[in-house]
Amino acid sequence: MAVSFGHYGAKGRLTSSVESRCGLGRGTCYVSLMAQPSVLALAMIAALPFACSKHEVTKPGAAASVVAPRASAVIGLASSAPTDTPIVIPPNWPRDVLQTSKGVLTIVPIRHGSVLFVHENKAIYVDPTSEGYYEGLPKANFIFVTHAHPDHLDPKQISDLKGPNTSIVTAPEIGRAVGAQWTLKNGESRLFGSFMVQAVPAYNTVRGPEPGKLYHPKGEGNGYLFTFGGKRVYVSGDTECALEIKALRDIDIAFVCMRLPYTMPPSEAAECIKAFQPKVVYPYHYQGSNLDELRNALKGQPGIELRIRDWYRKGPPANESPLATMLPDRAGPFIAAPLTSEPEFVRREYSRGKTKISVTIAVAGATPITFDEWVKMSGTSPAINLDAPPNSAAGFYDCAGPGADASCNVHIHFRVGYHLELMGEGKARRGDFDALLKALPIRQLAQLPPG
């Protein structure tokens, strides 16, 4: 393990820094001081024994002794500026979600080798490409690039997604080409705000354009292993099934490439997947591959969920939000007005006589409050008995008084991230809300992955 600290002066220049490299399992820590050590840097050294049983200091200009561990890591702290406006993915964009200890991770497949992660209100892109469709998607907080091939390294699309505070992370070979703020060598790790990233080697073992050459030489490209709130998400980049990939463990989600002649066929990818046993696998970068080979090869692997998504869609996603089916044209005794669909929500008004109730479903991530925080905050309000799986939804009345005739609003929060709000108009009472809720597909909404 290695630990890096830095101290910057008033003009943003590095005035002193401490870098520690620890041999994994060897109990020795080697420290190198760059530039003139400040009081802060020396204080940092005092904090190092938490990682190493002993340490050795190398003065500026001297060569640092380095233990060569099996897999090195550089742990630092890097972050982009905070995002005040909540990131919202338009409701027509296909996506999946994963609950982490730090809130929902939203996964948006885009094109070929390009994927978007949204976590803790940060937009994190991997290998954005101009062949993809990005309209309506957020500007990047972070952009990770795996290697130099043009279907992964696309300066134009990187420029289009960049904002004033975007951080770009690449392998060292290509950092200068895109103005990367950070580079990671194979095996190195870095903490970016609240999520950790490790660079996993990505390379060919046998395939190349001619004898003696490989399409992806070892050491030039990265896969990335992200840790979001305790969940480990691996993105392979372009690779064959290298030993470092087979050695991965405790992977919650894996994006695994396949495409001949540049990487590997589905049959080899399946054997690689069996070796490191991720819980969920997304085949990607599969243009021209027969995914039935992958399906068949992974039969008999009950611990691995295979998620096949369309990574080669032309143009924008379908315009109709899947949430629209959660607000049907008729709900029991209520008549529905036309549906309103916006990037942040879908809305419909239901009426019965003079009673009108406006129903809004906000897309996952539109509200910054997590499910557990919502339940805690609303704990003193009258709860609603919902037809939903246990611990998947919590609903509360906000009423002007007790009894069935009290005027009310209703709030329902779903663990997957959606928020359902019912606003009464006219003579809407608690009994009206009860009747409408029974007619809406609450159970289906609670089980619906955001998409």
pLDDT confidence band for 96 (50 / 70 / 90): confident
| Span of 10-19, 243-252, 352-361 with lowest mean pLDDT | 10-19
pLDDT at 303: 92
Mean pLDDT of the residues in the chain: 79
CA distance to 116, 172, 182, 195, per residue, from 229 (Å):
17, 27, 22, 7
What is the pLDDT at residue 446? 84
Distance of alpha carbon 248 from alpha carbon 137, whole angstroms: 31
Burial class (CB in 10 A: 0-12, 13-18, 19+), 288: exposed
CA dihedral 259, 263, 266, 267 (to 10 degrees): 150
Give the span between the Cα atoms of 304 and 318, in whole angstroms: 29
**pLDDT interval class at 395 (50, 70, 90):** confident
Identify the sign of the CA torsion 161, 162, 164, 170: positive
Find, among 51, 33, 50, the residue nearest to 42 by Cα.
Answer: 33
Cα gap 403→380, rounded to integer Å = 17
State mean pLDDT over 19-24: 34
Contact of 425 with 358, CB cutoff 8 Å: yes
Tens-digit pLDDT profile for residues 318-367: 656 677 778 887 788 898 888 787 767 888 899 988 889 999 998 766 66
Note the pLDDT of residue 321.
Answer: 66
Contacts of 302 (CB under 8 A, 6+ apart): none
Which CATH code of 3.40.50.970, 3.40.50.300, 3.30.230.70, 3.60.15.10 fits the domain covering 78-306? 3.60.15.10
- Do 286 and 259 meet the contact criterion of CB atoms below 8 Å apart? yes
C-alpha torsion 29→34→39→41, nearest 10: -40
Q: For residue 38, what pLDDT is reported?
A: 40
Instruction: Say if CB 55 and CB 48 are below 8 A apart.
Output: yes
User: Do you know the residue count of the chain?
Assistant: 451
C-beta separation of 116 from 151 below 8 A: no
**Closest residue by Cα to residue 29 from 60, 73, 66, 62:** 66
* Range of lowest pLDDT (187-191, 268-272, 377-381, 432-436): 377-381
> Which of residues 77 and 174 earns the better pLDDT score?
174
pTM here? 0.61
Per-residue pLDDT reduced to its tens digit, 215-227: 889 999 999 999 9
For the four alpha carbons of 267, 272, 277 and 278, in that order, the dihedral sign comes to negative
